[in-house]
Structure 1
Amino acid sequence: MSAHTLQITPELINYLHEHSIQEPDLLKALREETVKTFEAAPMQISPEQGQFFRFLLQTMNAKNVLEIGTFTGYSAICMALALPDDGHVTCCDLSYDWTRMAVKYWELMHLNKKITLHLAPAINTLQSLIDNNQQNTYDFAFIDADKPNYSNYYEYSLQLVRSGGVIAIDNVLWGGEVINPENQNKNTLAIHELNNKIAQDDRVTICMLPIGDGLTLARRK
C-alpha cells in the first residue's frame, strides 16, 4: 500500500507492458504502422490504456459503445474486442486519411461488422443519434477528439449514455500543462475548464486516473 501514486519510469512501463498487455499481433502492427506513418502518432492511446478499456468494458458487460475521435482505430479495436458478438462501436471522426488505416485493420481483424464509422463533424453525428432516439442507449462513451469541443462532446455523451453508463475523457492531464498557469493555449484551457466542470458536476460520479495522458471516468447517475 502507498499513500502516493508511484512515479512511472520507462523501465516500469516496459515491465507493465510485459506483464499486463494482451495485444493481438494485428493490433500491435496497427500501433507500429501508425507510428511509422503519421506525425500525429502520439494521439494514439497507449497499450495500457487499451488494455484497461478491454478490462473495463468486459467488467461492465458493455454492448453499445460510442467513440468520439477514432484516429487510426486502435482504441476502437480494443473496445470492439471486449464486446460480445452482438456488441457494436459507433465511431466519429473527420479524417479520411487516418481512418483509412483504421478500416483496413478492422477488416483484417474481422471486426468491421462490429464497428460503424461516421465521417463527419462529431457534433453533427451526435445530434443525428439524438434525433434518431438513441438517448440512454450507450453503455460507454470515449471522448478523444478536438479539445475546444470537449465540453460539447461531454454534454452530448451525457444524453446518449444510459444511467450507470460511463464516459471516458482522454488527455485530461495534457502533458502536465493543466497546472501551468502560463499556458493559455485554447486546447489547454478547454481541457482545464472541462476538468473543473466535471469535478463539480452532480450528474456523475468521477475518477481521474494518471494513465496515458490522463483519463477521467464519469459514471452517469
Structure 2
Amino acid sequence: MAPPGGRAQEPPPERRALPGTSYDDARGRGAVPEHASQARRRQEDHGDRRLHRLLPPGHRARHPRGRHDPGHGQSDINRENYELGLPCIKKAGVAHKVDFREGPALPVLDLLQDEKNLGSFDFVFVDADNYLNYHERLMKLVRLGGLVGYDNTLWNGSVVLPDYTPMRSYIRHYRDFVLQFNRTVADDDRDEICQLPVGDGITLCRRVK
C-alpha cells in the first residue's frame, strides 16, 4: 500500500527472503507512514527498555532495540519460528539480548510472576488466543506507564457487526473472546487504552495504576 503521492518503501532483503513471505503480503499488512511514525514516537517517548513478546505458532521474531535495554524476551511454542527471524536479529546486533523461551506462553508468564519481575517490563506485545488469560498477569509485570499491545482486536471488523452477520467459522469462534476482552480493558481503571487502526487492529493498554 503506497502512501498518497509516493511509493511504498520496500522491505529489506532479509525480510523479503523469509520463507512464506511475499512483498505484496507485507505491504498489505503494514502500517501507513503516519501510523508507523506515531508508533515510533510513542516508543521513543516511552523509553522502552525491557520488552517481551508473546507469539503463537507461525509468527516471526524480530526485536527492536530500546534505550538502556538490558534485554528482550520472547515466548513461542515452536523454536523454528524464532530461528526464522534470527538472521534479522543478528544483523541488528541484539541477538545476545534476546531471551527466547520455547513453549506455551502462559506457563512462561507464571514463572515470571516473582518479585524481581513484577513491575519491571516496559512493553509487552501479545498475539495469542484468549487475551483475558494474559491481561491480569501482564498488568502485574509491566511498570506504571508501561504498555501492553494486543494484536487483531478488530478481528476482521467482526466486532462491529451484528450477531446475525454471516462469518467464517474461525472468525465467529474467536469473536466473542475479542468482544469480551475489548469490553474488559475499556472498563479497567488500571489502564488507558488506544486503538490503532493498523492491519487487523492493535490495542495499546498503558498501565496507570
TM-score of Structure 1 vs Structure 2, range by shorter chain: 0.7 to 0.9
Higher helix proportion, which one?
1
**TM-score normalised over the length of structure 1:** 0.75
1:53-77 deviation line (CA, Å, top 9, x unaligned)? 443221211111111117212xx32
Are 2:15 and 1:15 aligned?
no
Q: Which amino acid aligns with 1:164?
A: G
1:113/1:98 CA distance change after superposition, 3 Å:
same
- Measured in 1, the distance between the counterparts of 2:41 and 2:81 equals 26
- Which secondary structure state, in structure 1, belongs to the residue aligned with residue 21 of structure 2? helix
Are 2:180 and 1:196 aligned?
no
Alignment of 1:61-76 (within 5 A): 61-69=47-55, 71-73=59-61, 76=62
1:198/1:104 CA distance change after superposition, 3 Å:
same
**TM-score normalised over the length of structure 2:** 0.79
- Measured in 2, the distance between the counterparts of 1:193 and 1:25 equals 38
Q: Which amino acid aligns with 2:94?
A: L
- Which secondary structure state, in structure 2, belongs to the residue aligned with residue 110 of structure 1? coil
Aligned residue among 61, 70, 74 for 1:91: 74
Count how many residue pairs are aligned between Structure 1 and Structure 2: 195
- Measured in 1, the distance between the counterparts of 2:156 and 2:76 equals 23
Gaps spanning 5+ residues in structure 1: where? 1-12
1:95-127 deviation line (CA, Å, top 9, x unaligned)? 223222022321233220222211111001111
RMSD (CA atoms)? 3.0
Q: Which stretch shows the higher mean deviation, 98-107 or 57-66? A: 98-107
- Which secondary structure state, in structure 1, belongs to the residue aligned with residue 95 of structure 2? coil
Q: Is the 8 A contact 1:17 1:47 kept in 2?
A: no
Q: Is the 8 A contact 2:106 2:134 kept in 1?
A: yes
1:139-189 deviation line (CA, Å, top 9, x unaligned)? 1111112x22x1111111101001111111111101112223245733222
1:12-69 deviation line (CA, Å, top 9, x unaligned)? x311696896x8735xx325525438xxx88x96355766544322121111111111
Question: Percent of aligned pairs with the same residue?
Answer: 25
